[in-house]
Structure 1
């Protein structure tokens, strides 16, 4: 059980990068970007293709980020220059990316044939490189001994290097996002999402800001896809289906639990929400009458609960506040009436 939850935390930290990208579009830009389902696979396909061809995994991951950025910018151009509805722009780009991703994965084969997946079982990845580094430092053995002796678990994971790597990367990206959203460009993007007409009155180019925001968002999504491909040791053309729902679930769960008072708190909530989502998902799959084929149903239920429960809690709090104010008014009236009687 501990090993399964540990793996869920690992994946949750990687998916948190994707959730940060979704947060930038849906919350900051107020743009319903469905490109995510396609750009996630674009990142995975680009990284896996280059690794299969023998390129350095770090370079492959960087190229995946660039590919995701281009995909996001194309969605932005469809909306801003093509005057296409935001939702439809994302759908069109998502559909186009499916074929593009198949072409990208085909580049790893002879004659560039169309391939639906790329295995990386015998390939060197970012995680295998860093796992060896952490293993040489003795971190894996030390952590596993601590878990067995202190917590009493007989089985312990041996991938502490992986979780340390993704945790460091995700924390760095979280702080970069915090910094970026407080810069002049970041504030302009936030203002564009809040009130596009107002920011135009200050002579700001909202079209460029939207394109940039979508590019950065999908670059993060593609980065997450590249890491997931290397973590899972394969890239598949269908691995991005439902990613937008997972990203939204992470954002909604995090915001409902931790709140959104500041940028720092909100991005932290998004990261935590992604980890919590994966843990809930892993626990749900351990229920006897649920199967892996129920993954989409579980995701839908988690999102529904994340949307409904905060509303129910807010309504109860509002009723409690109204009841408290009503009792305070009655108390003040009783005191006033008592004073009048004494007079």
Structure 2
């Protein structure tokens, strides 16, 4: 049970990192996630069933997510479409693209092929390690590597400029930086991470589905907000770490709701309601906490 929560929490933690970049760093509410997540899953599943190595499949999913983000940014920049609507347009178009990538079907199983997780399980058994622990170590390595790379990126001039634009776009423009290019880079990077998460989720679940991304942006947003209650810091790596922690906690809450919700007459159909209530509660708590800090500063 615990291992399953950690596995899913880490996989969807990569998704939450992507959501964190757009919502918190770039201040760009992006709904492309609902399309780029199954897009990454569809690309990886199709590549693996076609005989390509798992690593190549994941890299293709990364590239697909980046392209999806770039499309959203271009629609927003060049057509002056609001960011939310630009994301909805890309998400809507990606549904048809995902069906095409999956071979004109809504679902593609990964039962008779080697995936990242089946390979890790075989390796773990060969080393005498329980398979679930081997998968956990693999995911910790992947997520840790992504956090390290993102931390290094956000300490570069480009990364610092990206963060500054989310706080004060006019200041960045006054420094001669093109904000449209920054949005392309930020939204592309965000959806690239979402594509990786989709690729791993498909391999973990054993199938890719065109409907895999329904409401997935809410999952990422809930993870970001829940994580904000665990670590307070202005440094980038603790901020990234708390997003992943929030994802694990969120998955734990959803697990409790699925398996023990019957005690309060709750069904799996109520999980979306619970997710929404969690986000609302997080917003209320954040507002209360910020109000306390303001009063303390005034004193």
Q: Tell me, yes or no, whether TM beats 0.5.
A: yes
Q: Secondary structure at the match of 2:228?
A: helix
Contact conserved, 2:15 with 2:194, CA < 8 A, in 1? Answer: yes
Of 111, 116, 125, 1:126 maps to 116
The residue that corresponds to 1:274 in the other structure is 247
The 1-side partners of 2:57 and 2:293 are apart by: 50
Query: What are structure 2's unaligned runs of at least 5 residues?
Result: none
1:84 aligns to 2:57 (yes or no): no
**Distance of aligned partners of 1:79 and 1:136 in 2 relative to their CA distance in 1, 3 Å threshold:** same
The 2-side partners of 1:299 and 1:61 are apart by: 28
The residue that corresponds to 2:192 in the other structure is 219
**Distance of aligned partners of 1:322 and 1:67 in 2 relative to their CA distance in 1, 3 Å threshold:** closer
Task: Report how far residue 313 of structure 1 moved.
Answer: 4.7
Query: What are structure 1's unaligned runs of at least 5 residues?
Result: 107-113, 141-157, 326-343
Of 47, 53, 59, 1:50 maps to 47
Write the deviation string for residues 100-145 of structure 1: whole angstroms up to 9, x where unpaired.
Answer: 1111111xxxxxxx201101122210111122112211121xxxxx
1:300 aligns to 2:271 (yes or no): no
Task: Report how far residue 315 of structure 1 moved.
Answer: 4.7
Task: Report how far residue 290 of structure 1 moved.
Answer: 2.0
Using structure 2 for the length normalisation, give the TM-score.
0.94
**Distance of aligned partners of 1:191 and 1:118 in 2 relative to their CA distance in 1, 3 Å threshold:** same
The 2-side partners of 1:180 and 1:41 are apart by: 26
Of 58, 66, 73, 2:70 maps to 73
Matches for 1:1-343 after TM superposition, within 5 Å = 3=1, 5-106=2-103, 114-140=104-130, 158-285=131-258, 286-288=260-262, 289-315=265-291, 321=296
The 2-side partners of 1:314 and 1:281 are apart by: 27
Using structure 1 for the length normalisation, give the TM-score.
0.82
The 1-side partners of 2:47 and 2:227 are apart by: 34
The 2-side partners of 1:77 and 1:32 are apart by: 15
Task: Report how far residue 295 of structure 1 moved.
Answer: 2.2
- Bigger drift between 204-213 and 38-47 goes to 204-213
Contact conserved, 2:257 with 2:271, CA < 8 A, in 1? Answer: no
Q: Secondary structure at the match of 1:270?
A: helix
**Distance of aligned partners of 1:322 and 1:290 in 2 relative to their CA distance in 1, 3 Å threshold:** same
Higher-Rg structure is 1
**Distance of aligned partners of 1:208 and 1:317 in 2 relative to their CA distance in 1, 3 Å threshold:** closer
Task: Report how far residue 257 of structure 1 moved.
Answer: 2.4
The 2-side partners of 1:101 and 1:297 are apart by: 27
Q: Count residues in correspondence.
A: 296
Q: Secondary structure at the match of 1:257?
A: coil
Write the deviation string for residues 156-197 of structure 1: whole angstroms up to 9, x where unpaired.
Answer: xx4211111111100110111111111011011112211122
Supply the RMSD in Å over aligned alpha carbons: 1.7
The 2-side partners of 1:190 and 1:139 are apart by: 42
